[in-house]
């Protein structure tokens, strides 16, 4: 048991539904308590397209089932098939409450009269309570690809790749795919399928046409691409496509795997560096003092902290004082990659402890998920919500990957580093009385730095050189 | 009025979403949500998305998640000691609420035991709130958690019989946590000359109980206090002899809890709209022993609303149903001249809402347990002027060209009393005017 102030990941069912809702022609029946049906609302609020989420609830009800109201799994499954004749795959996902109830689930779809081919039912026997969103999403994607493979299509006559990117709700997810596709197109490689976001159920059966898999978002696509590599010998490119160096590396690897002329790939890269990619340009324009001794703490999933960490450390020249992930199951890989640019790699899934780590690192800039906003605020340093989960739902999404993404990153950095660029790094330390320090120790960790800052500001406004217990209490 | 049961899947925001708002409303409470990752994620992610159809984002530091490990459920008493440890970090905690539903139960948490332990160790009141507890009438409303929390608060009110209140007890007995307002309660019951009145509700927007207390005071009835009021220290005595006026239509559990303590819950209309307020004031005053007539007041209130009523006369309104407030809102709007096409009621307690249902106009259809897909089709067919929609349907309906407003907007605006009636109509008129202005643009 953990006492937390927030969670980075949702439960396994949420991960499964995120992947399923990203793929066209897939409908999910979610077995859950009547009070757990929030995906539709979240989908509406986040996507803001006006489309209804392809998810139906099968509510678990207490007591004997006498009525014809929804709640009977078999009946609810046939109702989904009837109501969604275009669905090619029907998924049965279970919430943690449903898993804890231990009820058995059907493994075949009930027969439903109607035109067209009946959909396929996909269930996940590995679901268990306590499993996290990302891990479940990864496994679900692999299972869906298994389910979609009915025959083995021929390899395409011209070079093609599959893009494995983030699912819906990822920050700027659609823009990441678009940027990757644009760049691949420029080096002469066609995209066979975007998985999961933008794919449809039929695409899942045609993945083997591609010559290679480009893994933009490892958190979700790892198992699926490994399966395709082992089973069909499809090579994969796993470098995060973040920053100009990362993007160049991906394009060169793809070029090699697709047997393209390396010189032509390099020419495209140079052309992009000259026209689109502004991060290297920004790094050269700014005087070194802008970045010198500026410390950054990064926290998030896997791809974004690693990719951003590398780009900020190597391409920009900032000091990555701490870099962490909440994905505990990827700990080894994360540490391995993070060590290439920071000594401060850590793995932690308690927002309070993350806050303590970041506070202790005394950064000048915090890059993180929406849960880190409070820490940055309490430290009084700028904050960039660039790692999922984020709470922003902009109408126009901007990529962070690829060359266009590197320019977005340059703009973002330019704004926050310029705003705070000329300030002295730290105020002259103010003295605290022992009683005031004792009071401050009672403040929850999360809020301590903010409380300290407010107290010092209050003391200064009163013209006091010391923070006393009274001043501290007044300032809260 | 016809009541149909559609036996469908209603679109209702999960009641747990309200935890952050409640923490805001009860500033001296520490709220611990015990469950799995799912509960914590729900509470955190729904309000984290800024959206016009969701409640505003107010993350609260006084909400803590006890995320249980299904493979290693905690031993008895461990949850309590962890809560005690974290309560130490908060100054001024006067109440601990443990929100523990089906998942916590399945993992063997004895929530009652843990709260008793917390209460003993911290020497503070602690209560369990079970969002998944079976209710007498099936179905859920998005405001169920408010109801459950208010029921818990009712149980925390000092339990005094009126006769005890009138007698002066020894100050030592009156000391402790509730001493201060007990005395106040005694005084008001004296000055009112009748039975003490307690208002129950207004959990969604603060200051609403004051509006009604002022109305009642005009009618010669002093209100001893309200639940939740402005915090645990201000809870009025509630027990035998107390008259309870229920402000919100979703408070079935809280009203039952008050009845169980021997209080008289006045069965009348909710104080929403002109007639609702008039009947509420009249009936509560009568129960408290003060005869009054609100007829003149109500008539002049209706006259004041003349211009606004003209604007909404004949407008067709569809309520998809989510909070439970739709029924009194529909009643008032129908009285004001609008045409109410359908009122969705994910849960309908006919006994509790008997007065409301009787007062609904003859042409209003109430659909119990409505199916959101069926509703969408009916909305598409009938093309109402305004849809008062639940959050899950809001965007899809707007995308289909319907004018939508969230029932929460009415609650935020403060729907109670005669002033509230005006605010309800103004909000609706504003919505339609803006839509007309946008429609007239040549895009």
B171 and B126 in a single domain? The answer is no
A100, B103: Cβ pair inside 8 Å?
Answer: yes
Residue B381 domain flag? yes
Chain A, nearest residue to B142 by Cα: A35
B65 near B97, Cβ under 8 Å?
no
Other beta carbons less than 10 A from residue A287's beta carbon: 7
- B335 and B287, same structural domain? no
What CATH number does residue B425 fall under? Answer: 3.40.50.1980
Cβ–Cβ under 8 Å, residues A401 and A247: yes
Sequential DSSP letters for B179-232: HHHHHHHHHHHHHH-S--EEEE---SSTTHHHHHHHHHHHTT--EEEEESTT-G
Regarding whether B113 and B61 lie in a shared domain, the answer is yes
Å between B292 CA and nearest CA of chain A: 43
For B376-406, how does the pLDDT look when each residue is reduced to its tens digit (9 = 90+)? Answer: 999 999 999 999 999 999 999 999 999 999 9
Closest CA to B366 of B405, B424, B324, B411: B324
Fold exhibited by the domain A280-419: Rossmann fold (3.40.50)
Let me know if residue B148 belongs to a domain.
Answer: no
Asked whether residue B151 is assigned to any structural domain, the reply reads no
pLDDT of residue B182: 40
Alpha helices in B89-140 (DSSP H): 102-106, 111-122
Taking 70 as the pLDDT cut, the residues of chain A under it are: 63-66, 419-429, 444-447, 476
Residues B168 and B124 grouped into a single domain: no
Distance CA A341, CA A321 (A): 9
**Answer CATH for A431-475 from 1.20.1630.10, 3.40.718.10, 1.10.8.550, 3.30.465.10:** 1.10.8.550
Q: Regarding the domain with residue range A160-278, which homologous superfamily does it belong to in the CATH classification? A: Nitrogenase molybdenum iron protein domain (3.40.50.1980)
What are the residue ranges of CATH 3.40.50.1980 in chain A? 12-131, 160-278, 280-419
Yes or no, beta carbons of B89 and A57 under 8 Å apart: no
Question: Above 70 in pLDDT, residue B180?
Answer: no
Task: Give CA angle at A147 (A143, A153), nearest 5°.
Answer: 120
Do both B194 and B325 map to the same domain?
no
Distance CA B222, CA B213 (A): 7
Give the position of tokens 């700027």.
Answer: A172
**Integer Cα distance of B195 and B266 in angstroms:** 13
Do strands B404-405 and B63-67 pair parallel, antiparallel, or not at all (unpaired)? Answer: unpaired
A97 shares contact with chain B (CB less than 8 Å): yes
Tens digits of residue pLDDT in B242-273: 999 999 999 999 999 999 999 999 999 999 99
Predicted local distance difference test score (pLDDT) of residue B192: 46
Of B42, B89, B138, the CB nearest to A36: B42
On whether residue B147 sits in a domain, the answer given is: no
One domain for residues B317 and B291: no
* CA–CA–CA angle A39, A42, A47 (5° rounding): 120
The CA distance from B256 to the nearest CA of chain A, in Å, is 22
ipTM reported for the complex, 2 dp: 0.89
B112, B139, B166: which is the final residue of a domain?
B139
Contacts with A137 from chain B: Cβ below 8 Å = none
* A12-131 CATH fold: Rossmann fold (3.40.50)
Same domain as B321, residue B348: yes
Residues B124 and B168 in one domain: no
Q: At what angle do helices B391-399 and B372-382 cross, to 10 degrees?
A: 40
Count of domains forming chain B:
3
Residue of B nearest to A52 (CA): B396
**Does residue B187 register a pLDDT over 60?**
no
B34: pLDDT strictly greater than 50: yes
Do B238 and B358 sit in the same domain of this protein?
no
Q: Do B328 and B389 have their domain in common?
A: yes
Q: What is the pLDDT of residues B331-366, one digit of tens each?
A: 999 999 999 999 999 999 999 999 999 999 788 999
Domain boundary among B295, B323, B353: B295
Pick among B102, B145, B406 to test the A interface (most A CBs inside 10 A): B102
Q: Is B4 contained in some domain?
A: no
Following CA atoms A308, A303, A375, B86 in sequence, which dihedral angle do they give, to the nearest 10 degrees?
-160
| pTM above threshold 0.80 | yes
In a domain? residue B150: no
Contact of B421 with B303, CB cutoff 8 Å:
no
Chains A & B: contacts with CB separation below 8 Å:
182
Q: How far apart are the first and last CA of chain A?
A: 31
What one-character DSSP code corresponds to residue A312? I
Contact A130 B69 (CB under 8 A): yes
Q: Which domain holds residue B66?
A: 10-139
Task: Express each pLDDT in A281-306 by its tens digit.
Answer: 999 999 988 898 899 999 999 999 99
Minimum CA–CA partner of A476 in chain B: B91
- Every domain range in chain A assigned CATH 1.10.8.550: 431-475
């Amino acid at each position: 048991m953990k006492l937390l102030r927030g969670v980075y990941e949702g439960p396994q069912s949420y991960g499964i539904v995120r992947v399923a809702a990203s793929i066209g022609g897939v409908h999910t029946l979610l077995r859950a308590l009547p009070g757990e049906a929030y995906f539709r609302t979240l989908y509406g609020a986040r996507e803001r397209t006006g489309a209804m989420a392809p998810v139906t609830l099968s509510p678990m009800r207490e007591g004997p089932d006498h009525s014809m109201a929804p709640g009977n799994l078999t009946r609810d499954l046939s109702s989904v098939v009837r109501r969604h004749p275009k669905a090619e795959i029907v998924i049965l996902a279970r919430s943690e409450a449903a898993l804890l109830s231990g009820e058995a689930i059907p493994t075949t779809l009930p027969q439903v009269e109607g035109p067209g081919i009946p959909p396929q039912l996909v269930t996940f026997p590995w679901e268990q309570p306590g499993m996290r969103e990302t891990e479940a999403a990864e496994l679900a994607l692999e299972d869906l690809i298994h389910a979609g493979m009915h025959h083995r299509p021929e390899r395409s006559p011209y070079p093609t790749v599959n893009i494995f990117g983030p699912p819906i709700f990822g920050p700027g997810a659609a823009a990441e795919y678009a940027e990757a596709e644009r760049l691949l197109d420029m080096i002469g490689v066609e995209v066979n399928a975007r998985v999961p976001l933008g794919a449809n159920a039929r695409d899942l059966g045609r993945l083997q046409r591609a010559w290679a898999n480009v893994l933009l978002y490892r958190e979700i696509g790892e198992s699926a691409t490994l399966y395709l590599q082992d089973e069909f010998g499809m090579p994969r490119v796993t470098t995060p496509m973040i920053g100009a160096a990362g993007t160049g590396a991906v394009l060169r690897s793809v070029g090699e795997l697709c047997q393209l002329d390396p010189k032509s790939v390099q020419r495209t890269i140079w052309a992009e560096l000259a026209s689109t990619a502004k991060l290297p340009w920004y790094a050269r324009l700014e005087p070194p003092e802008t970045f010198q001794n500026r410390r950054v703490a990064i926290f998030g999933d896997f791809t974004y902290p690693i990719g951003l960490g590398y780009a900020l450390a190597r391409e920009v020249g900032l000091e990555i004082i701490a870099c962490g992930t909440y994905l505990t199951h990827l700990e080894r890989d994360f540490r391995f990659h993070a060590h290439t640019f920071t000594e401060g790699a850590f793995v932690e899934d308690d927002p309070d402890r993350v806050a303590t780590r970041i506070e202790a690192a005394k950064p000048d800039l915090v890059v993180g998920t929406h849960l880190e906003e409070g820490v940055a605020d309490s430290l009084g340093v700028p904050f960039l919500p660039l790692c999922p989960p984020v709470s922003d739902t902009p109408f126009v999404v901007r990529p962070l990957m690829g060359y266009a993404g590197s320019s977005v990153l340059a703009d973002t950095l330019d704004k926050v580093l310029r705003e705070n660029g000329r300030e002295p790094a730290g105020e002259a330390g103010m003295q605290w009385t022992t009683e005031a320090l004792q009071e401050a120790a009672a403040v929850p960790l999360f809020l301590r730095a903010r409380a300290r800052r407010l107290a010092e500001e209050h003391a200064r406004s009163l013209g006091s050189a010391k923070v006393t217990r009274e001043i501290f209490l007044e300032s809260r | 009025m016809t009541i149909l049961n559609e036996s469908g899947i209603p679109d209702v925001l999960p009641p747990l979403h309200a935890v952050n708002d409640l923490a805001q409303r009860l500033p001296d409470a520490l709220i611990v949500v015990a469950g799995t990752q799912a509960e914590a994620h729900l509470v955190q992610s729904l309000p984290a998305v800024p959206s016009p159809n969701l409640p505003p984002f107010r993350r609260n530091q006084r909400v803590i998640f006890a995320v249980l490990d299904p493979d290693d459920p905690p031993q008895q008493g461990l949850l309590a000691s962890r809560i005690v440890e974290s309560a130490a970090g908060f100054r001024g905690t006067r109440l601990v609420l443990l929100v523990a539903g089906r998942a916590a139960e399945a993992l063997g948490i004895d929530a009652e035991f843990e709260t008793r332990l917390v209460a003993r160790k911290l020497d503070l009141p602690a209560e369990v709130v079970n969002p998944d507890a079976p209710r007498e009438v099936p179905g859920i409303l998005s405001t169920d958690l408010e109801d459950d929390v208010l029921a818990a608060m009712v149980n925390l009110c000092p339990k005094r019989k009126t006769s005890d209140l009138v007698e002066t007890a020894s100050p030592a007995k009156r000391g402790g946590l509730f001493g201060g307002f007990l005395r106040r309660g005694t005084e008001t019951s004296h000055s009112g000359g009748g039975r003490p009145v307690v208002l129950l509700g207004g959990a969604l927007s603060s200051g609403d109980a004051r509006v009604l207390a002022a109305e009642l005071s005009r009618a010669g009835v002093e209100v001893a206090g309200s639940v939740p009021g402005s915090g645990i220290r201000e809870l009025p005595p509630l027990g035998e002899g107390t008259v309870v006026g229920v402000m919100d239509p979703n408070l079935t559990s809280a009203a039952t809890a008050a009845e169980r303590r021997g209080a008289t819950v006045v069965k009348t209309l909710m104080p929403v709209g002109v007639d609702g307020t008039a009947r509420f004031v009249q009936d509560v005053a009568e129960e408290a022993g003060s005869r009054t007539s609100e007829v003149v007041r109500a008539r002049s209130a209706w006259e004041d609303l003349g211009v606004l009523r003209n604007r909404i006369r004949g407008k067709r309104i569809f309520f998809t149903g989510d909070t439970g407030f739709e029924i009194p809102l529909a009643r008032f709007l129908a009285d004001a001249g609008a045409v109410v096409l359908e009122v969705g009621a994910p849960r309908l307690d006919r006994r509790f809402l008997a007065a409301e249902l009787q007062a609904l106009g003859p042409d209003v259809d109430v659909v119990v347990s409505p199916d959101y897909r069926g509703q969408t089709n009916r909305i598409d067919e009938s093309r109402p002027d305004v849809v008062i929609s639940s959050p899950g349907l809001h965007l899809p309906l707007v995308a289909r060209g319907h004018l939508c407003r969230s029932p929460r907007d009415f609650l935020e605006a403060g729907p109670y009393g005669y002033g509230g009636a005006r605010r309800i109509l103004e909000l609706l008129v504003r919505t339609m005017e803006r839509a007309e202005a946008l429609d007239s643009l040549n895009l």
